[in-house]
């Protein structure tokens, strides 16, 4: 006679190591991977902080993304300790995990003992469908999507670089997109600035960008800054943003932005383009070099032509802008290795990428100082960058 389901569970539980919630609480974060194997709705109602979510039904297909190391210490939990025991058995016997345990009593006992439970941001059914392809990625999942929805990203310019970046960040569900641009849509923009349209020529770019973003994803709150960024307004505009996307077309603003973001500790995803060439890097204050570490002084005017004067391949800002958007998503969700301390060069004609190291300059006039060492009186006070760069030219 075949054994009953209850008997099979009993037998499997005997073969699996079980640990008490007290032990899990004690070892949390010490290299232990805690995996919640319950269904999505159960996870949404509350889970153990720091746990990763791999529903038991998807265990075999998703565990590699969540726990790549077969020798990692893995502790599974569910509601009561049964499903996690079965899942632990699968990981050990079928998938070759060497150090797996199941938490006794599940999250029910964990809660009874008074340990902390985190209730995640819950996505609406429409959001679950819209961001479904993100939710399938263990690296992003509901938690990463919630971070994107809570993120505030500022785009400097709704031009060549800003246009594709804004489109994809809006599609990805970045909750707040600020756009700084005082320009209007011009026919000559449309060769590359794909967020604008022919019937919007003459319209302020911030309004045109907002219309496209809202049509693409109504989840996104667009904050329009129809001004030119300068020393008098930069601190007020950029304060409160999580990440800034720099695609500005002049050196004075790039240096000004660098100094302000170092002071406010805001990471900048920076790109520049000319002709068939692009450059990309991430400047995360104090974690890596800043723009001044890479380029301490701007080049003279004859070595710093703009795209307006020299031309640019229309798809190039698309390529570079989407690399920027990718770095933004990585910074917001905390996944991957952002391009900090590295400069990526792209040469479209040869189809080559070159990566160069960028070191922090211990003598850097800006980022070698702690922001706290900069007095209130100094905050917001900048040298006259226009004159500085003109003098350099």
Partner 1 sequence: MPLIKIPVVLRQSVGGEKEVRAEGGDVGTVLRALADRHPDLSSQLFGPDGSLNRYVNVYLNDEDVRVLDGLDTTVRESDVLNVLPAMAGGV
Chain positions contacting partner 1, by CB under 8 A? 157, 159-162, 246-251, 254, 271-277, 279, 294-300, 303-308, 310, 312, 317, 345, 347, 349-350, 354-359, 392
Using CA atoms, how far apart are residues 357 and 190, in angstroms rounded to an integer? 35
**Closer to partner 1 at the Cβ: 381 or 390?**
390
Angle in degrees, CA 374, 376, 379, rounded to 5: 70
**Closer to partner 1 at the Cβ: 326 or 333?**
326
| Least Å from the CB of residue 10 to partner 1 | 59
| Least Å from the CB of residue 177 to partner 1 | 17
**Closer to partner 1 at the Cβ: 97 or 346?**
346
Torsional class of 245: left (φ above 0), alpha (ψ -120 to 50), beta (otherwise): beta
| Least Å from the CB of residue 192 to partner 1 | 9
Torsional class of 46: left (φ above 0), alpha (ψ -120 to 50), beta (otherwise): left
| Least Å from the CB of residue 370 to partner 1 | 23
C-alpha pair distances (Å), 184 with each of 165, 200, 201, 285, 377: 18, 9, 7, 32, 36
Do 184 and 231 touch, CB atoms closer than 8 A? no
| Least Å from the CB of residue 235 to partner 1 | 21
Rounded to the nearest angstrom, the gap between the alpha carbon of residue 285 and the centroid of all alpha carbons in its chain is 16
**Closer to partner 1 at the Cβ: 148 or 389?**
389
Using CA atoms, how far apart are residues 53 and 38, in angstroms rounded to an integer? 8
| Least Å from the CB of residue 221 to partner 1 | 24
**Closer to partner 1 at the Cβ: 267 or 298?**
298
| Least Å from the CB of residue 226 to partner 1 | 17
Q: Pairing relation of β-strands 352-357 and 99-103? A: unpaired
| Least Å from the CB of residue 204 to partner 1 | 16
Using CA atoms, how far apart are residues 296 and 364, in angstroms rounded to an integer? 8
> Side by side, which strands form the sheet with 243-246?
221-225, 176-180, 152-156, 243-246, 268-274, 277-283, 342-347, 352-357
Residue 325, classified by CB atoms within 10 Å of its CB into exposed (0-12), middle (13-18) or buried (19+), is buried
**Closer to partner 1 at the Cβ: 127 or 165?**
165
Using CA atoms, how far apart are residues 107 and 104, in angstroms rounded to an integer? 9
**Closer to partner 1 at the Cβ: 122 or 343?**
343
**Closer to partner 1 at the Cβ: 105 or 252?**
252
């Amino acid at each position: 006679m075949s054994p009953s389901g209850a008997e099979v569970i009993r037998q499997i539980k005997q073969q699996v190591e079980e640990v008490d919630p007290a032990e899990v609480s004690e070892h949390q974060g010490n290299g232990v991977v805690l995996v919640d194997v319950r269904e999505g709705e159960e996870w949404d109602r509350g889970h153990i902080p720091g746990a990763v979510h791999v529903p038991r039904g998807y265990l075999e297909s998703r565990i590699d993304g969540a726990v790549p190391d077969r020798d990692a210490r893995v502790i599974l939990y569910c509601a009561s300790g049964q499903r996690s025991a079965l899942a632990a058995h699968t990981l050990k016997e079928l998938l070759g995990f060497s150090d797996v345990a199941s938490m006794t009593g599940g999250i029910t006992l964990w809660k009874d003992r008074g340990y902390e439970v985190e209730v995640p941001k819950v996505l609406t059914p429409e959001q679950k469908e819209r961001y479904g392809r993100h939710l399938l990625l263990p690296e992003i999942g509901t938690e990463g999507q919630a971070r994107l929805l809570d993120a505030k990203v500022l785009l400097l310019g709704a031009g060549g670089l800003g246009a594709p970046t804004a489109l994809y960040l809006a599609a990805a569900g970045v909750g707040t997109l600020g756009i700084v641009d005082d320009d209007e849509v011009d026919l000559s923009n449309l060769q590359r600035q794909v967020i604008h349209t022919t019937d919007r020529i003459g319209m302020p770019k911030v309004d045109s960008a907002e219309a496209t973003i809202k049509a693409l994803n109504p989840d996104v709150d667009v904050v329009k800054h129809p001004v030119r960024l300068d020393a008098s307004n930069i601190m007020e505009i950029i304060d409160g943003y999580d990440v800034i996307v720099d695609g500005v077309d002049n050196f004075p603003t790039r240096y000004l932005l660098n100094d302000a973001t170092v002071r406010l500790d805001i990471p900048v995803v920076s790109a520049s383009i000319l002709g068939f060439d692009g450059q990309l890097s991430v400047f995360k204050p104090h974690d890596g070099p800043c723009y001044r570490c890479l380029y301490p002084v701007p080049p003279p005017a004859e070595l710093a032509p703009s795209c307006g004067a020299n031309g640019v391949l229309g798809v190039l800002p698309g390529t570079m802008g989407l690399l920027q958007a990718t770095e933004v998503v990585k910074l917001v969700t905390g996944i991957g290795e952002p391009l900090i301390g590295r400069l990526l060069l792209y040469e479209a004609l040869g189809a080559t990428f070159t990566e160069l190291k960028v070191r922090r300059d211990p003598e850097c006039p800006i980022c070698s100082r702690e922001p706290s060492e900069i007095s209130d009186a100094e905050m917001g006070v900048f040298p006259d960058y226009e004159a500085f760069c003109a003098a350099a030219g």
